[in-house]
């Protein structure tokens, strides 16, 4: 550390801070991401200080001009933060002093590092929430397009990873649409708690100076100001909520990735991923791997780990601020960047996938997943459901034993199992008939899916 550079808090101490201790505690390699937010918060703060006559207008103008120059220097890379500066806030304040002299020291009037960092964090989170909501909207748009394209394409619906019933592929894509729509809702709800300015709370008890927190909140575009100065600087609930929301988004992406990986495999063969979003093997020339989906699935674990990290950091902290809270930035930044990147690339990959409709049509026409139609056919013939279920189970067993698909079982054989079965049973044993026979709200019939698509379009 150069001799002319003093840590901002060091005046009370008679010995310089140990270099190894400084390197251990330095956060500038992480919080340098907040330089724009820090400068924006400082400009709002000094503007308020001038309006309240705590600093002169000339001093405020000099500070603002210097801060804007520093923002350009940091953005362009001509000013490179060093670990000796401890954090990005010190980098900016020390550089400001070099530029404008002693007037730089007035910027911190009535402000603590505690409410400064809390403000920067909330400004960052507002931007990341907006970005994440935007990319989720892009993914939902792709899902809606897929639902429209494949509304009348029939696929297998699964339970327990076993073929269950034929459904509209559009219905499947809309299920994920609804998941991501809920994710957007969580982010919008969280924004109400993020959009509160902590600036003016000072270290934790407020200030004797005539600050105007409402004015700085207005200048920064916050919707409200803190109700309690202790909570303003010690609250990290919003970070926990945000990473939790990211973890839920990643969980949805991971489930979707699992489907993409399985469906694009040779064993399933339902889905084709564009070569532009697949990889090969360095040894096996025939391989086509769904690596993007696998990476998204893998990165989900990172975000889960970040959630446990921030919960563990906060679980035993007494009020108000503690230095442990410096460790909130790595999980916050990593979760935001990882989730945004994953949503963006997954949407792009999904846009470049196609269902293998010919193969699906052949498989769904011959599969045992039509068995439920036999049971419900018998119910419509006034056979009690439990009896209908038992009869259908015996039909399925016979079908498997004799290697004859359900639609190809002769009528006389059907009638050996139940005399309630007539020739119209074959009308029910068609995939499209099965799908379109569904009458309940939100079901997989083509008509219901069309209605769901229309509602989804409104949500976008």
Of 362, 453, 374, 392, nearest to 155 by C-alpha is 362
Q: Give, rounded to a whole angstrom, the gap between the first and last alpha carbons of the chain.
A: 53
389 counts as catalytic: no
Torsion angles phi and psi, residue 189, rounded to 5: -70, -40
SS3 331: helix
Catalytic residue among 160, 282, 382, 441: 160
> For the stretch 48-58, what's the b/e string if a residue is b when 16 or more beta carbons lie within 10 angstroms of its beta carbon?
bbbeeebbeee
SS3 113: helix
Rg (alpha carbons) of the chain, rounded to whole number: 31
- Write out the DSSP string of 307-358: HHHHHHHHTTPPSS--GGGGGGHHHHHHHHHHHHHHHHHHHHHHHTEEE-HH
What are the structure tokens assigned to 198, written together? 């902590």
Residues 6+ apart with CB under 8 A from 194: 122, 125, 126, 129, 238, 242
What pairing do the DSSP bridges indicate for beta strands 224-225 and 196-197? parallel
Please say whether the beta carbons of 449 and 151 come within 8 A. Answer: yes
What pairing do the DSSP bridges indicate for beta strands 353-355 and 271-273? antiparallel
160 counts as catalytic: yes
Torsion angle of C-alpha atoms 400, 406, 412, 415, degrees rounded to 10: 90
Of 261, 263, 341, 270, nearest to 294 by C-alpha is 261
Of 86, 79, 95, 92, nearest to 19 by C-alpha is 86
Please say whether the beta carbons of 449 and 168 come within 8 A. Answer: yes
> Assign residue 441 a region: left if phi > 0, alpha if psi is -120 to 50, beta otherwise?
beta
Q: Give dist(CA 199, CA 42) in Å, integer.
A: 10
Largest CA distance in the chain: 101
Q: Give dist(CA 405, CA 409) in Å, integer.
A: 7
Neighbours of 400 (CB within 10 A): 11
Q: Which residue has the tokens 């953005």?
A: 75
Active-site residue set = 160, 281
């Amino acid at each position: 550390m150069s001799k002319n550079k003093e840590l901002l808090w060091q005046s009370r101490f008679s010995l310089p801070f140990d270099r190894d201790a400084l390197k251990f505690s330095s956060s500038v390699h992480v919080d340098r991401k907040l330089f724009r937010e820090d400068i924006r918060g400082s400009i709002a703060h000094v503007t308020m200080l001038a309006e309240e006559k705590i600093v002169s207008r000339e001093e405020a103008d000099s500070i603002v001009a210097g801060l804007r120059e520093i923002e350009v220097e940091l953005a362009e890379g001509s000013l490179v933060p060093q670990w000796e500066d401890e954090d990005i806030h010190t980098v900016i304040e020390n550089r400001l002093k070099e530029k404008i002299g002693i007037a730089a020291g007035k910027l911190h009037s009535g402000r603590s590092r505690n409410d400064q960092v809390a403000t920067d964090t909330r400004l960052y989170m507002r931007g990341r929430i907006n970005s994440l909501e935007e990319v989720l909207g892009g993914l939902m748009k792709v899902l809606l397009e897929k639902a429209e394209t494949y509304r009348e394409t029939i696929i297998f619906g699964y339970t327990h990873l076993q073929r269950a019933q034929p459904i509209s592929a559009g219905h499947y894509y809309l299920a994920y649409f609804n998941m991501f729509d809920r994710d957007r809702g969580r982010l919008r709800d969280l924004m109400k708690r993020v959009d509160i300015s902590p600036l003016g709370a000072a270290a934790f008890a407020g200030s004797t100076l005539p600050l105007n927190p409402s004015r700085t909140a207005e200048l920064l575009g916050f919707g409200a100001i803190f109700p309690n100065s202790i909570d303003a600087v010690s609250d990290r609930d919003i970070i926990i909520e945000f990473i939790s929301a990211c973890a839920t988004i990643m969980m949805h992406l991971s489930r979707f990735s699992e489907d993409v990986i399985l469906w694009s495999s040779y064993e399933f063969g339902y889905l084709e991923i564009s070569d532009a979003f697949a990889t090969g093997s360095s040894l096996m020339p025939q391989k086509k791997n769904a690596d993007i989906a696998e990476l998204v699935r893998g990165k989900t674990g990172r975000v889960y780990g970040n959630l446990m990290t921030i919960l563990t950091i906060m679980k035993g902290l007494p009020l108000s601020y503690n230095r442990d809270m410096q460790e909130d930035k790595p999980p916050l930044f990593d979760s935001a960047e990882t989730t945004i990147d994953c949503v963006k690339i997954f949407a792009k990959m999904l846009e470049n996938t196609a269902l293998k409709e010919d193969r699906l049509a052949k498989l769904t026409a011959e599969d045992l997943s039509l068995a439920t139609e036999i049971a419900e056919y018998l119910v419509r013939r006034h056979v009690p459901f439990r009896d209908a279920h038992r009869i259908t189970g015996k039909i399925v067993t016979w079908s498997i034993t004799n290697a004859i698909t359900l639609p190809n079982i002769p009528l006389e054989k059907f009638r050996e199992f139940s005399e309630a079965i007539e020739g119209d049973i074959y009308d029910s044993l068609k995939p499209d008939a099965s799908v379109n026979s569904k009458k309940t709200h939100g079901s997989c019939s083509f008509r219901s899916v069309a209605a769901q698509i229309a509602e989804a379009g409104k949500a976008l």
